């Protein structure tokens, strides 16, 4: 069924994570899902499960054990993932405002954007959002920690920090805790005293290290003008629709049912998820919604973090009752937490029995070298060797002596975020001109869109054009025209990047003088690689859910870094020849440079010096590879001819040599006496992992 509207899930909280899980399961079983273009917007690619955060602070878990991989979850559910910071909401225009990129239009919007700590003026750090708090925790290894607050979060975090060997102290307003009942308060006090944690009645002005003083919805949400309570939480009906706004839903810590108010708690976010999933689907298809009525009391299990002297224990609060502490309660809590996380880690893709790996996208989708060379040779184009063509063609010369260059590049969407995909594609295409020592002046685009409703196609095209211009504007370059097509193969109607592709014709000019060619390489030249490689294997593994989220985050961050500044920098240090490392891998493109160089020159390559993106080598060691890598393996024959490795190179290192790159580095030949200065200049310019990886010899 074609998508007829856009449903945006704002925030990666527990409610939305569970909704995505339900849709992923339904899609796997029967390919069913709401007939809408669905997008999840989250500032992080992972969501921390709050129930395990105290255990993470105490050292009982690592971060990966407590994290839900939102990017993988979206892929399984057929949902577009957009990593961005939400800065505002315009209910009238139906737009979600994002930092550093265009607003996102929506037909239906669901908000699960978490909360932030209130009353933080006198505190160094706030417990919410969780990610900065956890980073702060990692920097404190000993000494005292003054915690303002007396609720469940303050008590559990204090116990967790004590388990790590710190000396926490709770600063209260009054003399009592705020755990929901007298029995809970008394038990909480006994637990804290047994751990040697003091409680102090302190004034609001007293300084503190950490604020655990309750939460409020993000301030931008209250500024939207939507109905809210005094803490900015949106008021909803039992259907979770915001009052007076039937196309807008709120759940988790940022929403509260007006007739059934409850304090913020992950319990309510989890319990409401089935009703939210049903009602979002019902809203899209025009069916009746169903109410959700939260139970009167919610079970709370609080862990004490354990210590070197005893195993972890937990206490249980339910309404007016409190029991514990007990190791059995901790084992129960641990079991419940593990079962919750297993709901996500155990999810499988739609076709687990696929006989061959899914074909890679991005530049790894390019044609293999062999059929390309064959076709070129048959038509008298390029002489049948990849080294006979430069990265860009010279198409003219100005009166001032500058050369005019042109190149074309593009590929099927690497990521399902149209704006980010266009940004990556544009940076990738521009690198052809940068590798020739040219600056980019104008660009034309051919955009292929999937079959969707016209408004959705307009959204995708607008996001794509904005992504292109996010690269061109800082360069002073212009998008001057292009063409659009509609894919007619039925690919990607519901959020998958299939059916979306972008091809760019890139034009530019050099300063006075000849553009850089791929060769010839000269004896003594050092080979400088501007940044790490390994994007091919990372995205291949990510398609199967085997790449850690942090690895993909780091790769995308590098891939979005423009290399335009390298043109002037490399020229200043006497660059003799240059190319960009893309689909044929480092060894394939080095082979092109050698093909443009007279024999018997050869390269001594320091395999151990070649920088790899985080996760690339571990994945290669496990046998993962891009679908283009087997074709690129023909370049390994160079190792027996014109490329010699200094030091051993295992299978993973050899796999890195032929890994296809999207937005890959520049590979430049620099005179020997300039290599060290050039490397230092690159590193100072923000390319911290640039490396000298080899030298040309006769």
> Which of 74-78, 345-349, 612-616, 667-671 has the least mean pLDDT?
345-349
> Nearest-5° angle of CA 624, CA 627, CA 632?
100
Measured CA to CA, the distance from residue 173 to residue 196 in angstroms comes to 20
Domain residue ranges of the chain, discontinuous segments joined by +: 6-115+217-298, 123-214+302-317, 391-516, 518-698
- State CA 229 to chain mean position distance: 33
**Residue 33 confidence (pLDDT):** 61
pLDDT at 531 over 50: yes
**Residue 85 confidence (pLDDT):** 97
pLDDT at 196 over 50: yes
Which tokens go with 581?
């490392």
Fold of 518-698: Phosphoribosyl-aminoimidazole Synthetase; Chain A, domain 2 (3.90.650)
Answer whether 515's CB lies under 8 Å from 405's CB: yes
DSSP 3-state of 120? coil
**Residue 384 confidence (pLDDT):** 43
Answer whether 626's CB lies under 8 Å from 659's CB: yes
Task: For residues 628-632, give the mean pLDDT.
Answer: 93
**What sign for the dihedral angle of Cα 677, 682, 684, 685?**
positive
What are the φ/ψ torsions at residue 171 (nearest 5 degrees)? -100, 115
Tell me which of 139 and 48 has the higher pLDDT.
48
**Residue 354 confidence (pLDDT):** 44
Instruction: Please write the tens of the pLDDT for every residue from 430-462.
Output: 999 999 999 999 999 999 999 889 999 999 999
Measured CA to CA, the distance from residue 172 to residue 158 in angstroms comes to 13
DSSP 3-state of 406? strand
Measured CA to CA, the distance from residue 144 to residue 51 in angstroms comes to 25
Measured CA to CA, the distance from residue 357 to residue 346 in angstroms comes to 20
**Residue 396 confidence (pLDDT):** 94
Answer whether 367's CB lies under 8 Å from 374's CB: no
Q: What is the CA radius of gyration of the chain?
A: 28
Answer whether 327's CB lies under 8 Å from 313's CB: yes
Instruction: Please write the tens of the pLDDT for every residue from 564-591.
Output: 999 999 999 999 999 999 999 999 999 9
Top mean pLDDT of 156-170, 300-314, 357-371 is at 156-170
Task: For residues 162-177, give the mean pLDDT.
Answer: 90
Task: For residues 528-540, give the mean pLDDT.
Answer: 97
pTM score of the predicted model: 0.93
Instruction: Please write the tens of the pLDDT for every residue from 334-386.
Output: 999 999 999 999 887 655 444 455 678 877 777 888 888 888 888 888 644 44
DSSP 3-state of 409? strand
Confidence of residue 490 (pLDDT cuts 50, 70, 90): low
Q: What is the CATH number of domain 123-214+302-317?
A: 3.50.50.60
**What sign for the dihedral angle of Cα 685, 688, 689, 695?**
positive
- How large is the angle between the packed helices 70-77 and 14-30, nearest 10 degrees? 40
Instruction: Please write the tens of the pLDDT for every residue from 220-236.
Output: 998 999 999 999 999 99
Fold of 391-516: 60s Ribosomal Protein L30; Chain: A; (3.30.1330)
Q: Say what percent of the chain tops pLDDT 70.
A: 95
- In which residue are the tokens 């009645």 written? 201
Task: For residues 173-197, give the mean pLDDT.
Answer: 92
pLDDT at 184 over 80: yes
CATH superfamily of 6-115+217-298: FAD/NAD(P)-binding domain (3.50.50.60)
Fold matches, 6-115+217-298 and 123-214+302-317: yes
Instruction: Please write the tens of the pLDDT for every residue from 279-299.
Output: 999 999 999 999 998 888 888
Confidence of residue 174 (pLDDT cuts 50, 70, 90): confident
Measured CA to CA, the distance from residue 28 to residue 21 in angstroms comes to 11
- In which residue are the tokens 């000269």 written? 522
């Amino acid at each position: 069924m074609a998508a007829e509207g856009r449903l945006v899930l704002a925030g990666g909280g527990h409610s939305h994570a569970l909704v995505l899980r339900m849709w992923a399961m339904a899609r796997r079983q029967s390919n069913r899902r709401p007939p809408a273009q669905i997008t999840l917007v989250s500032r992080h690619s992972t969501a921390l499960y709050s129930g395990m955060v105290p255990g993470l602070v105490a050292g009982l878990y690592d971060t990966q054990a407590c994290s839900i991989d939102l990017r993988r979850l979206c892929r399984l559910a057929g949902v577009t993932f957009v990593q961005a910071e939400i800065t505002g909401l315009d209910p009238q225009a139906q737009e979600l405002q994002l930092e550093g990129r265009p607003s996102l239009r929506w037909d239906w919007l669901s908000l699960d954007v978490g909360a932030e700590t209130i009353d933080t003026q006198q505190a160094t750090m706030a417990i919410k959002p969780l990610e900065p708090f956890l980073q702060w925790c990692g920097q404190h290894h000993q000494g005292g920690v003054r915690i303002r607050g007396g609720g469940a979060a303050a008590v559990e975090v204090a116990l967790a920090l004590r388990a790590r060997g710190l000396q926490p102290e709770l600063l209260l307003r009054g003399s009592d805790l705020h755990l929901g009942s007298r029995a809970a308060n008394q038990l909480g006090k006994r637990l804290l005293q047994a751990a040697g944690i003091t409680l102090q009645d302190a004034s609001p002005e007293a300084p503190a290290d950490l604020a655990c003083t309750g939460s409020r919805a993000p301030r931008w949400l209250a500024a939207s003008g939507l109905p809210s309570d005094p803490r900015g939480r949106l008021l909803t009906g039992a259907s979770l629709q915001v009052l007076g706004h039937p196309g807008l839903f709120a759940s988790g810590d940022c929403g509260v049912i007006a007739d059934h108010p409850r304090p913020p708690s992950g319990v309510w976010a989890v319990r409401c998820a089935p009703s939210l999933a049903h009602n979002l689907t019902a809203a899209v298809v025009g069916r009746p919604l169903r109410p959700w009525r939260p139970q009167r009391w919610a079970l709370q299990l609080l862990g004490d973090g354990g210590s070197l002297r005893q195993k972890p224990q937990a206490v249980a609060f339910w309404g007016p009752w409190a029991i514990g502490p007990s190791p059995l309660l901790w084992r129960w809590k641990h079991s419940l937490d593990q079962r919750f996380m297993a709901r996500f880690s155990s999810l499988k893709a739609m076709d687990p029995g696929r006989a061959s790996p899914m074909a890679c996208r991005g530049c790894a989708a390019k044609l293999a070298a062999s059929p390309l060379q064959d076709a070129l040779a048959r038509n008298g184009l390029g002489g049948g060797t990849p080294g006979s063509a430069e990265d860009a063609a010279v198409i003219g010369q100005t009166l001032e002596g500058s050369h005019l260059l042109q190149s074309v590049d593009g590929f099927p969407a690497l990521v399902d975020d149209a704006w980010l995909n266009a940004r990556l594609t544009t940076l990738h295409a521009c690198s052809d001109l940068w590798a020739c020592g040219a600056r980019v002046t104008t660009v034309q685009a051919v955009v292929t869109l999937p079959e969707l409703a016209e408004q959705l196609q307009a959204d995708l095209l607008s996001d794509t054009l904005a992504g292109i211009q996010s690269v061109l504007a800082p360069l002073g370059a212009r998008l001057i025209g292009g063409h659009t097509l509609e894919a007619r193969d039925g690919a990607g109607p519901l959020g998958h990047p299939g059916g979306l592709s972008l091809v760019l014709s890139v034009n530019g000019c050099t300063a006075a003088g000849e553009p850089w060619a791929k060769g010839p390489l000269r004896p003594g030249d050092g080979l400088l690689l501007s940044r790490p490689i390994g994007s091919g294997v990372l995205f291949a593994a990510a398609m199967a859910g085997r790449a850690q989220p942090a690895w993909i985050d780091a790769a995308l961050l590098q891939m979005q870094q423009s290399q335009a500044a390298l043109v002037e920098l490399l020229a200043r240090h006497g660059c003799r020849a240059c190319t960009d490392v893309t689909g044929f891998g480092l060894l394939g493109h080095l082979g092109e440079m050698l093909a443009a160089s007279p024999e018997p020159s050869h390269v001594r390559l320091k395999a151990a010096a070649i920088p790899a993106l985080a996760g690339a080598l571990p994945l290669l060691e496990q046998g993962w590879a891009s679908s283009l890598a087997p074709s690129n393996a023909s370049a390994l024959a160079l190792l027996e001819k014109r490329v010699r490795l200094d030091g051993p190179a295992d299978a993973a290192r050899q796999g890195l040599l032929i890994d296809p790159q999207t937005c890959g580095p520049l590979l430049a030949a620099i005179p020997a006496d300039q290599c060290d200065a050039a490397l230092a200049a690159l590193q100072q310019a923000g390319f911290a992992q640039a490396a000298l990886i080899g030298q040309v010899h006769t």
